[in-house]
Structure 1
Amino acid sequence: MKPKQNRRDFLLKSSTLLGIGIFLNPLDLFSAPKKVEYMVGDIMDLFISKVPNAPFSPTVDTLKAGSRDQVVTGIVTTMFATITVIRKAIELKANFIIVHEPTFYNHQDETAWLASDPVYQFKADLLKENGIAVWRNHDYVHSLPIDGVQAGVVDELGWNEYYNQNAVLNLPETTLGNLIDHIKSKLGVPALRYVGDLNQKASKILLLPGAIGGRRQIEIMMQEKPDVLICGESPEWETPEYVRNANEMGESLGLIVIGHSASEEGGSEFMKSWIEENVKGIPVYHIPSSNSLEII
């Protein structure tokens, strides 16, 4: 006769199948899952773990305010931690802001030279008094197997079907003028700077968001020979002069300068999507910081 299974045998078998300890209260099997808590450092480390050859040293991707050990109540992604963005984060009860660019007006976020400045002090105090952590994610997001900023901008522009995970996109043939209209519409920019003939053919596009430097922009153009370079910004005496000279000698080459913020804001949208996929249970918001410069 088959022995009758007692309660202890049932619990042992169930705990083995479910991967739980034998001392678990059976009622716990039917209770709601416990809320998972993440600390700032947990989220930073999780993202960095996805980047080849990371962590980097040196890097600008450090905490600019707050602590790795604080529990995250909500996350805001943005380009710049402006005072407006910080205040919105406070309203949303989000205590972790992930930015792409500096918080304190220089690439390294050095603050000793600002110690007695009222603008710096106001911003630093606002972050401290509200317990907000700010992490710059610049080097790491650009170093993913697919550059997260570039991928985010391509998505904003609606060019995903032409994107092969590099800076070159082969679009259906259009004109430089039509490209400018498309970018203004998709990125919500009221005006763009450009070099070239608005009627020139445009199909092979070199997309370099942000400001990688004029020499690097020119070197990649020399290698790829695009119809148009789209970038965030470049010193006027570098890439714009090169493109102007190319046109003066009879070449057909276009340049579109979007502006730094608008050219990389898609990267902060990418970060929001990444967090939603990889960090469950924490509210996440993308708040565009917009451009500091107005157009009249």
Structure 2
Amino acid sequence: MKRKDFIKATALTGSYLGIVSFNLLDGSDPERTGSGLTISELQKFLVSLTSIPKKTVDRIIVGKPDDIVKKIGTCWMSTWETCKKAVDSGVNVLITHEPTFYTHWDLDEVPGFLDQSSDYTRQQYLLQIEKKKKWIIDNRLVIIRNHDTLDALQEKGIPFALGEFLGFSKNDIIASRTYYNVYKFNPLPAAGFARILAGKLKQLGQPGVAFYGDPERMVSSVGLGTGWICDPMDYADLKPDVFVAIDDVIRTHIQTVYAEDTGHPLIVINHGVSEEMGIRSLNRIIKDRYPEIEVVHFSQGCTYDWITG
């Protein structure tokens, strides 16, 4: 099952309840803190934040579960550069939202996700995966994935954190379901709202936003989704005046043409930008739970450099 289909299916079946719960799994001691905390116990705390399916990508990806937590790092994407920064700063457990090994299920999908690739491409990716994995293990770094939990978490999860960053509050929500919030604001032309949004996102390294639709249409609500599952086609029934979606989802021959033909405003932003504030929210949750452990965040935001001619 593809990544997007799996996430949507679990939401439709009610597997994600989105309720904050700090009950640890498997009988772990919820009071276990300090230098005696194992990485396995930290992972159990993280997946206890909300109800998620048993089949989840939220787990220890690589490294020794029984190692003692010394210093925690959080990031949106565990790129090799970020892993090196983590090790250099004394972090021995890095919590990432997105994959480490280039596919949603990480090592579980290796080498299967390369079945449709040429032999050369397959060889190059497998070589890089082994090099990165060996480096992580050799440097005694442990990678924890926290994706499904943070996507579904109410009030502190991905769409809520982005909404708060943009200046909205819970009282501004006029429609909502797991993964999606629609926020109200004072009416203004769609292009004016896009400029305000771009000004906010500039703080996260996004140089501008892509706009489709009628720039003069008056709008008073915006729909924010969660990363990969913010396709306007999936939450159009919540009826926001403006859709916000990410670059990993939008296809120029589908949603953008529809926006142009209908005039319904669509704003496309970078995937990393849309979820950066959610990872910072998770960082604060961990700090509050383990105040005696140093927890740092590796900011990433926009994942590309904007180069002009």
TM interval, shorter chain, is 0.7 to 0.9
Contact 1:43 1:279 in 2 (8 A): no
Q: What letter matches 2:279 in structure 1?
A: S
C-alpha distance 132-200 of structure 1, shift in aligned 2 (>3 A): same
Alignment of 1:194-213 (within 5 A): 194-212=211-229
Aligned with 1:178: secondary structure?
Answer: helix
Aligned with 1:97: secondary structure?
Answer: strand
Contact 1:209 1:260 in 2 (8 A): no
**Could you list the runs of 5+ residues in structure 2 that have no partner in the other structure?**
1-32, 115-121
Output the aligned Cα RMSD. Answer: 2.3
Count of residue correspondences: 253
C-alpha distance 173-71 of structure 1, shift in aligned 2 (>3 A): same
Q: Which residue number in structure 2 is paired with residue 107 of structure 1?
A: 104
Identity over aligned pairs, percent: 25
Alignment partner of 1:227 is 2:241: yes
Q: What letter matches 2:214 in structure 1?
A: D
Q: What letter matches 2:208 in structure 1?
A: A
Q: What letter matches 2:77 in structure 1?
A: F
- The match for 1:193 among 210, 214, 221 is 210
Q: Distance in 1 between matches of 2:34 and 2:239?
A: 53
How big is each residue's C-alpha offset from its partner over 1:27-49, in whole Å with a ceiling of 9 and x where there is no partner? xxxxxxx9543211112111222
Q: Which residue number in structure 1 is paired with residue 142 of structure 2?
A: 133
- The match for 1:172 among 186, 199, 220 is 186
Aligned with 1:198: secondary structure?
Answer: coil
Q: Larger radius of gyration, structure 1 or 2? A: 1
How big is each residue's C-alpha offset from its partner over 1:19-76, in whole Å with a ceiling of 9 and x where there is no partner? xxxxxxxxxxxxxxx9543211112111222313x4x222122222112211111111
Q: Distance in 2 between matches of 1:128 and 1:36?
A: 21
Q: Which residue number in structure 2 is paired with residue 97 of structure 1?
A: 94
Contact 2:186 2:220 in 1 (8 A): yes
Contact 1:218 1:242 in 2 (8 A): no
How big is each residue's C-alpha offset from its partner over 1:180-204, in whole Å with a ceiling of 9 and x where there is no partner? 2222222221021121222322211
- The match for 1:155 among 161, 164, 188 is 164
Contact 2:43 2:60 in 1 (8 A): no
Alignment partner of 1:45 is 2:44: yes
Q: Distance in 1 between matches of 2:154 and 2:223?
A: 19
Q: Distance in 2 between matches of 1:157 and 1:212?
A: 19
Q: What letter matches 1:209 in structure 2?
A: T
Q: TM-score with structure 2 length normalisation?
A: 0.75
Q: Which residue number in structure 2 is paired with residue 273 of structure 1?
A: 284
Q: Which residue number in structure 1 is paired with residue 269 of structure 2?
A: 258
Q: What letter matches 1:98 in structure 2?
A: I
Aligned-residue offset at 1:256: 0.5
Q: Which residue number in structure 1 is paired with residue 64 of structure 2?
A: 67
How big is each residue's C-alpha offset from its partner over 1:193-230, in whole Å with a ceiling of 9 and x where there is no partner? 1212223222111111312164xx32421x22221001
**Could you list the runs of 5+ residues in structure 1 that have no partner in the other structure?**
1-33, 248-252
Q: Distance in 2 between matches of 1:133 and 1:209?
A: 26
Q: Distance in 2 between matches of 1:193 and 1:73?
A: 42
Contact 2:225 2:244 in 1 (8 A): yes
The worse-fitting range, judged by mean Cα deviation, of 66-75 and 143-152 is 143-152
